[in-house]
Each structure stands twice: as structure tokens, then as C-alpha cells.
């Protein structure tokens, strides 16, 4: 959970100058292929102030001048945080979680909406977003195959320099522990309610949800 929020927090909270006024911001927004929704509307839809949205927009535009991010670009950006591993598979799952409209691209609105949940959302909102990330086939359940794919993707992303060195059966052990904890009725799948309840019972998870609340 912290991994998801941490990497995007680092990317999004770069220092940006505040010297330009609103007219400059509006002009900038017209010079890209996709023009985001107005700041007033985004301010109402997210937990960010107008000033914070301006900072986030400039950082987003620096990385993605066209105003949208396709999956290949997303993977290239995300892989910068994990130079010793292969982040492509995990970035694929993360991209799909941000691309809520399944358009094959992430707009600024998609980006700040997700970031608003991860950084400033309620506990339930953060856990719902994470559940959707793990629910790869979007059927409303997390099964062992999906969780295994996610865990392997995370291990691939961390790379061979992970310490302590992971055993070959580590992904299976991780998934078994996940289901032992989360699958309350032992039916082989984890529902959203089971996921939220189990996470709320775990003090470490609850602390991790608060780590990045003031990052911007």
C-alpha cells in the first residue's frame, strides 16, 4: 500500500515555482492535446486546493507535454524509481487502476483523482482503491491467482538486490498468508468487505495509510 502511494508522491511533489499567475496557467492548459477540466471543478472533486492542483498540473505537464499518458510512457516514468528491478508488470496493473475509464491513457483528471484518494482520502476510500488494484479482472473479488500475479510483480520490481534475499517460494508464502488473514469465510476469494475489515484490524496497515497524507 505504501509502495503505491510513495512512488507517486515523490513524482508529484517536485518543487515548482509559483511565479506565474492564473492567466498563464489558463494559457498553458490550452497548449496541450488534452485540456483538463477547470481548476474550480477539480478542486470540488478532489481533496486538493487550487494552488496544489496548479503545482500538480505543472509537474504532470513536464512529464507528459501532450496532457495524457499512455501505458508505455507510464512504465518508463515508473521504472525510474526501481532501477535494479523490472517494474513493467506492476506498472501495468497500476496503470489500469489509474485508467478508470479504460481508455488506454491517463489524463490529468485521472491522475489527481487517484492521488487525492491515496493521499487525502478516507481509510475506506484508500482501501477500496487498493482492492481495485488487486482485483485484476474487475469481478469484485481477489482470488489467489490475482494476488500471486501482484506479489510476483512487486518482487520483480524490487529486483535481485532485495535484502534479505527472497526464497523462490516467497510469493506463494506471501499469498497464503494474505488469504489466511483476509479470507474470513474460507471460500477461496477475498471480497471488498473482507479486505477492508482485515486491513482495519491491522495496525501496521493503518499506520501506512497515514504516511503520505501531508506529502504535498
CATH code where residue 173 lies: 1.10.238.10
pLDDT tier at 165, thresholds 50, 70, 90: low
Of 121, 138, 168, which closes a domain?
121
Three-state SS at 70:
strand
Range of the domain at 87: 46-121
More confident residue, 97 or 210: 97
* pTM metric for this prediction: 0.78
Query: Same structural domain for residues 198 and 126?
Result: yes
How confident is the model at residue 161, as a pLDDT?
A: 61
Residue 151 lies in a domain: yes
Residue 29 lies in a domain: no
Query: Same structural domain for residues 159 and 87?
Result: no
Cβ neighbourhood burial of 144 (10 Å; 0-12, 13-18, 19+): middle
Residue 184 lies in a domain: yes
Query: Same structural domain for residues 129 and 209?
Result: yes
What would the DSSP string read from start to end of 131-143? HHHH-TT-SSEEE
More confident residue, 94 or 5: 94
Residue 11 lies in a domain: no
Residue 135 lies in a domain: yes
Q: For 93-138, how does the pLDDT look when each residue is reduced to its tens digit (9 = 90+)?
A: 999 999 999 999 999 999 999 999 999 999 999 999 999 999 999 9
Of 86, 121, 156, which closes a domain?
121
Look at residue 1 and tell me whether its pLDDT is greater than 70.
no
- 41 CA to centre of own chain: 22
Number of domains in the chain: 2
Q: For 11-52, how does the pLDDT look when each residue is reduced to its tens digit (9 = 90+)?
A: 444 333 334 445 444 444 444 455 566 889 999 999 999 999
Q: Which residue shows C-alpha cell 496544489? A: 52
Q: Looking at residues 179-186, what average pLDDT do you find?
A: 96
Helix extents (H) in the chain: 2-12, 22-29, 39-45, 50-63, 71-79, 88-98, 108-120, 123-134, 144-158, 170-182, 192-200, 203-208
Of 69, 102, 121, which closes a domain?
121
Q: For 42-85, how does the pLDDT look when each residue is reduced to its tens digit (9 = 90+)?
A: 999 999 999 999 999 999 999 889 999 999 999 999 999 999 89
Amino acid at each position: 500500500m505504501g509502495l503505491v502511494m510513495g512512488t507517486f508522491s515523490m513524482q508529484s511533489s517536485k518543487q515548482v515555482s509559483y511565479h506565474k499567475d492564473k492567466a498563464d496557467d489558463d494559457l498553458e492548459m490550452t497548449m496541450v492535446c488534452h485540456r483538463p477540466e477547470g481548476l474550480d471543478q477539480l478542486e470540488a472533486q478532489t481533496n486538493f486546493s487550487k494552488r496544489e492542483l496548479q503545482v500538480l498540473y505543472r509537474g504532470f505537464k513536464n512529464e507528459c507535454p501532450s496532457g495524457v499518458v499512455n501505458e508505455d510512457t507510464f512504465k518508463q516514468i515508473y521504472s525510474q524509481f526501481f532501477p535494479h528491478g523490472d517494474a513493467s508488470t506492476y506498472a501495468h496493473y497500476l496503470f489500469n487502476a489509474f485508467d478508470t475509464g479504460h481508455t488506454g491513457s491517463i489524463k490529468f483528471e485521472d491522475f489527481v483523482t487517484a492521488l487525492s484518494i491515496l493521499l487525502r482520502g478516507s481509510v475506506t476510500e484508500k482501501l477500496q482503491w487498493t482492492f481495485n488494484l488487486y482485483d485484476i479482472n474487475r469481478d469484485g473479488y481477489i482470488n489467489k491467482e490475482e494476488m500471486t500475479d501482484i506479489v510476483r510483480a512487486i518482487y520483480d520490481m524490487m529486483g535481485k538486490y532485495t535484502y534479505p534475499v527472497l526464497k523462490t517460494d516467497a510469493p506463494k508464502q506471501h499469498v497464503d498468508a494474505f488469504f489466511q488473514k483476509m479470507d474470513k469465510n474460507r471460500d477461496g476469494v477475498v471480497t471488498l468487505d473482507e479486505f477492508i475489515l482485515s486491513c482495519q484490524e491491522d495496525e501496521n496497515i493503518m499506520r501506512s495509510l497515514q504516511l503520505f497524507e501531508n506529502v504535498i
